[in-house]
Structure 1
Amino acid sequence: MALISFTDKGMYCEAGQFYIDPWQPVNKAVITHAHSDHARPGSQSYLCHRDTLPLLKLRLGPYNYQTVEWNEPVYLNEVKVSLHPAGHIIGSSQIRVEHKGEVWVVSGDYKTEPDGISGVFEPIPCHTFISESTFGLPIYNWKPQHEIYHDIQNWVRSNEVAGKTSVLIGYSLGKAQRILQALEEVTGNIYVHGAIWNVHETLLQAGFKLPAVQRITPETPKEAFKSSVVIAPPSADGSAWMRRFTNHSTGICSGWMQVRGNQRRRNADAGFALSDHADWQGLLQAVKATGAQKIYITHGFQSVFSRYLNEIGIDASEVKTEFGNEEEETQSQDPTIEQ
């Protein structure tokens, strides 16, 4: 029997009697990171990295949590489990599972270029590697982070000169913190949507150092936004919440902006291909670095990526999961969005 099986509740280790990132409530859940498609409520207990804990509490509420440091082994029914950096978002981890000499690694979501915030992706030697393929097409080839940051900074400066508000769209957890990192050099006049404010405050209370921001409320005067920067989640784009910004330009921060047509379809003024996932080369490098004899592809461009791996002599298969939709903010979660 395989060390990890794919069930209707999620990835299950029968020998250890635990699930990894289950999408239904279970007794024991081991969590790679705090995005909503990987961390869901209702389980009896959760094991995660220490930096993920405050984010899980924010997202899920009070539960029975256990935390570990990276590379700190724990034993679940004689199965050795350890967490290792995935580089995706703060606290994101790969899960290494070892039993009777067999090693599997569940990567969750990951990126291979260090971002200075999320920990540095660490290839883990294993027999079987479970990988995403969100951007598993050769067209996805990211520019270095510092170049993308430079593009964002220049765009913000040009908007400031024109007296425009720069509205940057990105996920509240992961992308927003990287956008702030890019903005730190060019402005201290940063406003954020309530969903981003909640994550920001949680991270500050957990001891992370982040640039100062101001929360947008119904009382925030419209003139305050002139020549300022606003960070908002994708759920706010095109909503009534956006109407408070009159003379503004919108920039979307997403790997999907690598394809020019996506910027036009989203009716954005600018697109920055800033992604928290590995690009095509990053995925290939990660898979090869594990030395795994078997690869399972969970979500993304599964058929293309797995077919290519098989063509180059790496045994790969697709598996069906419920991962892949990180958009966790909805209008109902933030009372300011309809103002």
Structure 2
Amino acid sequence: MNLLELTPSGLYCPQADIFIDPWRPVEKAIITHAHADHSRYGMKHYLAHHHSAEVMKLRLGQDISLETLDYNEPILINGVKISLHPAGHIPGSSQIRLELKGKTVVVSGDYKVEDDGLSAPFEAVKCQEFVSECTFGLPIYKWQAQKEIFDSLNNWWRSNAEKGLNSVVFAYSLGKAQRIINHLDYSIGEVFAHGAIWNTNQALMASGVKVIDIPKVTQEVPKSRFKGALIIAPPSAMGSPWMKKFSPYRTGICSGWMNIRGARRRRAADAGFVLSDHADWEGLISAIKATDAEKVYLTHGSTAVFGRYLEEVEKIQAVELETLFEGENGSETGD
């Protein structure tokens, strides 16, 4: 990667003197999206898509130095043409396109290829070199259509409500939670948000993202209103004293890891819904082939297996990159 090099602080473009999703404090950083493993505290100057702006300020501080761009709005930094393109991962998620003297490299960040109705849909960007995640880079990962998953979730909620049970769904507070909120059947009952999710909703709406504005769980909300309701909470709330106010309840988890047998039992949930904001095996392959890239750099996930497939079957040169990006690993850092 002449345009990019991997340094102890992360991916770096020497010509533009700028990092992409750096792991350590640097002077200038381009941020692919606002999840905590890609958007970190301590950079002197940030550049991101405008839908990420208010969430980044919520998480990193209102006083950060932040410049924002729209998709397909190129800027020139020391001869390097830089533009942001939709990654389809969460609102504001961007692929970073770098061009210099006829050479084009695209850093995809995290992405998915199915249109979730919330984020700008993934856009394939032609390039010679492509930096791709492969969080779910194994053939066992094949997602159902989104409508089928939400039908299943709504039916589970309806069944609980008919039995006099409340429903608590655990989902990442940025991206996954809003995706769920926008696809619920509100004829079933009321929907409430944990404070962390409610705050994120407000920040996204302030940045122009269309999210249904649901009420926040507070001490003032009488317990009677939770009867038959669905409450959306971050994974960190699981098993916490905060949960007592919803008893009796059933719990569900929305995650790509629910694809693995036994994952729901290990997390002590009553139901698991295979809903991921990352591309599955086929999505990764289709996205990479659509770029026409001659070389692909693979980060976090099943890099060895997926890289071998690209080289042996697709005849695309693949290189593993050791990064600190965590992907959808059960924490609040990547979804």
Question: TM-score band (shorter)?
Answer: over 0.9
Matched residues in 2 for 1:144 and 1:153: separation?
15
Q: What is the TM-score when the length of structure 2 is the normalising length?
A: 0.95
> 1:190-229 alignment to 2 at 5 Å?
190-229=191-230
2:85 alignment partner, SS class: strand
Q: Which amino acid aligns with 2:17?
A: Q
1:182 alignment partner, SS class: coil
> Contact 1:4 / 1:13 at 8 angstroms: preserved in 2?
yes
Tell me which residue corresponds to 1:302: 303
Tell me which residue corresponds to 1:182: 183
> Contact 2:189 / 2:228 at 8 angstroms: preserved in 1?
no
2:318 counterpart of 1:316: yes
> Contact 1:31 / 1:47 at 8 angstroms: preserved in 2?
yes
Q: Which amino acid aligns with 1:318?
A: E
Runs of 5+ unmatched residues, structure 1:
330-339
> 1:151-300 alignment to 2 at 5 Å?
151-187=152-188, 189-300=190-301
Q: How many residues were matched structurally?
A: 329
> Contact 1:197 / 1:215 at 8 angstroms: preserved in 2?
yes
How many angstroms does 1:27 deviate by? Answer: 0.8
How many angstroms does 1:207 deviate by? Answer: 3.3
Tell me which residue corresponds to 1:337: none
2:92 alignment partner, SS class: coil
1:129 alignment partner, SS class: strand
Q: Deviations over 1:312-331 (max 9, x none)?
A: 111101111110156338xx
2:106 counterpart of 1:102: no
Matched residues in 2 for 1:212 and 1:39: separation?
25
> Contact 2:91 / 2:209 at 8 angstroms: preserved in 1?
no
How many angstroms does 1:169 deviate by? Answer: 0.6
Q: Which amino acid aligns with 2:155?
A: N
> Contact 1:31 / 1:38 at 8 angstroms: preserved in 2?
yes
Matched residues in 2 for 1:273 and 1:128: separation?
31
Q: Deviations over 1:177-210 (max 9, x none)?
A: 1111121444451111111011011122333332
How many angstroms does 1:246 deviate by? Answer: 1.4
Q: Which amino acid aligns with 1:5?
A: E
1:304 alignment partner, SS class: helix
Matched residues in 2 for 1:121 and 1:48: separation?
16
> Contact 2:257 / 2:274 at 8 angstroms: preserved in 1?
yes
Inter-CA distance 119–188: structure 2 relative to 1 (3 Å threshold)? farther
Tell me which residue corresponds to 2:23: 23
Q: Deviations over 1:18-37 (max 9, x none)?
A: 00000111111001000000
1:297 alignment partner, SS class: strand
2:182 alignment partner, SS class: helix
2:181 alignment partner, SS class: helix
Q: What is the TM-score when the length of structure 1 is the normalising length?
A: 0.94
How many angstroms does 1:138 deviate by? Answer: 0.6
Q: Deviations over 1:40-73 (max 9, x none)?
A: 0111111111111111111111211111110110
How many angstroms does 1:93 deviate by? Answer: 0.5
How many angstroms does 1:264 deviate by? Answer: 1.2
2:25 alignment partner, SS class: coil
Q: Which amino acid aligns with 1:27?
A: E
Matched residues in 2 for 1:204 and 1:67: separation?
16
1:260 alignment partner, SS class: coil
2:55 alignment partner, SS class: helix
Tell me which residue corresponds to 1:38: 38
How many angstroms does 1:239 deviate by? Answer: 1.7
Matched residues in 2 for 1:92 and 1:325: separation?
14
> Contact 2:154 / 2:185 at 8 angstroms: preserved in 1?
no
Deviates more, 1:59-68 or 1:87-96: 59-68
How many angstroms does 1:219 deviate by? Answer: 3.6
Inter-CA distance 204–188: structure 2 relative to 1 (3 Å threshold)? farther
Matched residues in 2 for 1:34 and 1:22: separation?
12
Runs of 5+ unmatched residues, structure 2:
none
How many angstroms does 1:291 deviate by? Answer: 0.7
Tell me which residue corresponds to 1:328: 332
Matched residues in 2 for 1:15 and 1:178: separation?
38
Inter-CA distance 293–66: structure 2 relative to 1 (3 Å threshold)? same
> Contact 1:134 / 1:300 at 8 angstroms: preserved in 2?
yes
2:115 alignment partner, SS class: coil
Matched residues in 1 for 2:58 and 2:188: separation?
28
Matched residues in 2 for 1:13 and 1:248: separation?
50
> Contact 2:51 / 2:209 at 8 angstroms: preserved in 1?
no
2:125 counterpart of 1:121: no
Matched residues in 2 for 1:129 and 1:82: separation?
14
